[in-house]
Chain A
Amino acid sequence: MADVKKIATRESYGNALAECGAKYPNLVVLDADLAGATKTGVFQKAYPDRHIDCGIAECNMTGIAAGLATCGKIPFISSFAMFAAGRNFEQVRNSIGYPHLNVKIGATHAGITVGEDGATHQCNEDIALMRTIPGMTVIVPSDDVEAKAAVDAAINYEGPVYLRFGRAAVPVINDRPDYKFEIGKGVVLKEGKDVTLIATGTCISGALEAAEKLAADGIDAEVINIHTIKPLDEELVLASAKKTGRVVTAEEHSIIGGLGSAVCDLLSEKMPTKVCRIGMNDVFGESGTASGLLEKYGLDGKGIYEKVKAFVQ
């Protein structure tokens, strides 16, 4: 995939905000001293009066956004996922979720691909936290195209949305004319009949790579991109599970509470199906390069391939 264009979804986030600035005059962007890292600095440069740096105080930033939303603004709050969802959980629940305010949470640096900073900053629990909040929409874009489309869709959706972005550059895979983003609608990237491989975010490219390797072994995998963890595209997941009878989930997140759990919640109630969850196996991450960590924790193409192969045999 060396010739494929790569860009970090956090870059896409910043660019998308800046691009949306003119179209949506009520759009305001808040940050907590990470405008350079979350890339909201791109918006700040274009719209300095609508960018609010709250300093290193994420909980207050969340409440300020809630207050702004009650006055008709569409605030995006930005920080690393660890703080945007982790430190902030109760503020998001009570000050945004409970009153169902129109605040968007742009969480960057999610998962282990934060890399060298290590486990304190590698949030593998945010999807689990956010999807338990009633009325919260949870979106994990997989590349530049999807990230930008998700930002625009979130602005046009009335209510709280959690958007999960990554630090590391990821291949652009959705760059095709017929690409369409719809909140809550999964995308079949490759049809197959032997096993369903449902992935999200950074794991999409690994899932596609794994599907190629599986094909060489005579295993025809269906690959589905679930960019919206909540509300989950139940129809699509059930149809594919019915077809293949075997489901694997892959995510750069704990296997507890994230995509894998959401899929298991659905299947166990509506169509009991054997599932293999690939993700962080109830462990903390560590320092290292993004690619080195994905490899070590089995979240790259090779790791996903090996787990799917063992599962289907």
Chain B
Amino acid sequence: MNKLELAKQANEVRKGIVTAVHSAKAGHPGGSLSAADMFTYLYFEEMNIDPQNPKMENRDRFVLSKGHTAPGLYSALAYRGYFPVEDLKTLRKLGSYLQGHPCMQDTPGLDMSSGSLGQGLSAATGMALAGKMDGKDYRVYCLCGDGEIQEGQIWEAAMFAGHRKLDNLVVIVDNNGLQIDGKVEDVCSPYPIDKKFEAFNFHTININGNDMEEIAAAMKEARETKGMPTAIIMKTVKGKGVSFMEDKAGWHGKAPNDEEYATAMAELDKIGEELGGAN
């Protein structure tokens, strides 16, 4: 896909997010929307995957360490063809295969269960290590939140990945600047994020995570980086694409009501039109 097509696809993924969370009457739209461009880039461009064969042995792996943004991942998976887009409306409902937080046994395309913050990067590191042990060339991507990296286990995993020179591992930090209790810098500042990963022997790249060009360039750089893992720190806007959700901590874990949902979808439709209509 070219960058315009990717941007259009990301906009569809955003519609899926808003629709799923509205239907569930609960969930986490803010951090799902901020990372929607990344979810889209990974599943539509970057990763070696096959929706018809989700367990393909040499597939690239993705771990959503910030598991509460499952709606973003589910939406990308659905549009990529892992399961029907219509099923996004079953999110969080009794009996649904789309659990509130990712459950790898339930949902096609999930490489790890996650949601308890701080744990996903360790699992991703284990996958990267297995690839190295077995001489396989698959790559492992892990998305963390900027609030999540307050968890100490993230840095245990970073120390290990740096020590083991796992250059098949890419950690992406969604730096949307907000967590439940407010701004990350006010609650307990993780800054400077890049310097911390550098100190753990990572190659670091700072980008605007709501820009497909910058995401593409960062992924290329990560692939070309040898002898150390890469951390992409992406500045994003929480709630990106829905004006009343943008940069509001209150939309971290809240569903839009019917009226808000209609407004949000109208805004996303408008963005889609401005991008030139559907792919």
Contact = CB atoms under 8 A, between A and B. Distances in A.
Contact of A64 (B115, B123, B134): B123
Interface of B: 61, 63, 103-105, 111-113, 115-116, 118-131, 133-134, 152-153, 156-157, 159-160, 163
A198 B129 CA distance: 43
26 contacts: A28-B133, A55-B159, A55-B160, A57-B153, A59-B156, A60-B160, A61-B122, A62-B122, A63-B122, A63-B153, A64-B160, A67-B112, A67-B123, A67-B125, A67-B129, A68-B129, A70-B126, A71-B134, A91-B119, A91-B122, A91-B153, A94-B115, A94-B119, A95-B116, A95-B119, A100-B105
* Most B Cβ at <10 Å: residue of A60, A91, A95, A98: A60
B114 to A, nearest CB: 8
A211 B134 CA distance: 52
B119 A70 contact: no
Contacts of A178: none
Nearest to B127: A67
What does DSSP make chain A's interface, helix, strand, loop or mixed?
helix
A159 to B, nearest CB: 12
Interface of A: 28, 49-50, 52, 54-55, 57, 59-73, 75, 90-91, 94-95, 98-100
B134 to A, nearest CB: 7
- When A and B form their complex, which 5 residue pairs have the shortest distance between CB atoms, in order from nearest? A67-B126, A63-B122, A60-B156, A71-B130, A64-B126
A66 B126 contact: yes
A27 to B, nearest CB: 12
A91 B159 CA distance: 18
Contacts of B134: 71
A66 B104 CA distance: 12
B103 A63 contact: no
A64 B161 CA distance: 10
Nearest to B136: A71
Contacts of A63: 119-123, 125-126, 153, 157
A71 B104 CA distance: 13
Contacts of B131: 71
A68 B116 contact: no
A72 B57 CA distance: 10
Nearest to B131: A71
Given A64-B160, A67-B112, A99-B103, A59 B153 contact: yes
B103 A98 contact: yes
A229 B230 CA distance: 44
A66 B116 contact: no
Nearest to B140: A67
B104 A99 contact: yes
A62 B120 CA distance: 11
A52 to B, nearest CB: 7
Given A64-B125, A64-B126, A94-B116, A49 B133 contact: yes
Nearest to B134: A71
A91 B125 CA distance: 15
